[in-house]
Amino acid sequence: MWRLMRRRHETEPQAAGEAAAQAAVTVAPVEPDLQSAAFFDVDNTMMRGASIYHFARGLATRGMFTTSDLFKFAVGQAVFRLRGNENPEHIAVARETALAFVAGAKVDDVVRLGEEIYDEVMADRIWGGTRALAQSHLDAGQRVWLVTATPVELARVIAQRLGLTGALGTVAESSNGVYTGRLVGDLLHGPAKAEAVRALARREGLDLTQCTAYSDSANDLPMLSLVGQAVAINPDSELREYAKKHDWPIRDFRTGRKATLTALPIAAGVGAVAGGVAAGIALRRHYRTQG
């Protein structure tokens, strides 16, 4: 009797599993749309504020540099944003400074810290509305790419956490897993974003007239004008006016005080550089103390 009960006990889960499998309803897979894709800016489009600034803030909580350093960079970013001043000479100087500080940092360390800090600081700053737009493209079988001046390693972390296809970001040169302090090309900002999207389209066989791009900044007009459908997300005043003039959809997920606050943290290019300087200082100090 015991053996019979034991045999029934062992076979019942198997029978239940087989029955469930037979009763399962197969949902027709989404037919991949191989010619269409969506391109999303990150800072103030997909995420409230600047991703690299949040990364630097995460480093500050780890004691890698002081909160006063972080405050100085935040003020500098706000000034640039309010002035609308992205002087190429200022960008070049700040870029070289950031690269000098990051030289010698390990790529794997940056990726690891990026994953930790995303989960701690950035995840709650993703705009739900923008995330839903990205998901709608994925549900339609389209690929979704982030396009940002943020370092590509951090951009990839964000894309992976959101379940997106991938990311285009600023590429810092590395050798044997260590940053050299030089860029491969230049900051992925303004016209460079459009060139990156164009190059990706050639590689992936995309028809840009069937693609969509999203951004909050007039700095991204080259990318927005490259595709068949442009959408302004939480737009700055210049992009809002341009979008109205050209009948582009406008989606604003900010309300009241939140809209005012999120307008302050940085324009894409200078903000990425300023935050990069902060992150670079932190990593530099970290490696000096480890040495």
Q: Could you tell me how many residues make up the chain?
A: 291
218-246: average pLDDT: 96
Report if residue 271 sits inside a domain. no
Which member of 33, 41, 139, 252 is catalytic? 41
> Which of 10-14, 156-160, 220-224, 241-245 has the least mean pLDDT?
10-14
Report if residue 170 sits inside a domain. yes
- The enclosing domain of 215 has a CATH number of 3.40.50.1000
Give 97-146 pLDDT, tens digit per residue. Answer: 555 556 677 889 888 988 999 999 999 999 999 999 999 999 999 999 99
Q: Which domain holds residue 70?
A: 37-251
Buried b (16+ CB within 10 A) or exposed e, 48-83: bbbbbbbbbbbbbeeebbeeebbeebbebbbebbee
214-221: average pLDDT: 95
Contact indicator for 147, 125 with CB cutoff of 8 Å? no
Which member of 33, 43, 108, 139 is catalytic? 43
Catalytic residue at 33?
Answer: no
> Which of 68-77, 176-185, 205-214 has the least mean pLDDT?
68-77
Q: At what angle do helices 107-117 and 51-61 cross, to 10 degrees?
A: 90
Long-range contacts of 255-261 (CB under 8 A, 24+ apart): 258/48, 259/234
Catalytic residue at 43?
Answer: yes
Place of tokens 């002035």: 83
Give 55-85 pLDDT, tens digit per residue. Answer: 877 877 877 655 565 555 555 544 444 444 4
What band does 269 get if pLDDT is binned at 50, 70 and 90? very low
Report if residue 131 sits inside a domain. yes
> Side chain identity at 287, as an amino acid letter?
Y
Number of structural domains in the chain: 1
What does DSSP say about strands 178-183 and 229-233: parallel, antiparallel, or unpaired? unpaired
Report if residue 81 sits inside a domain. yes
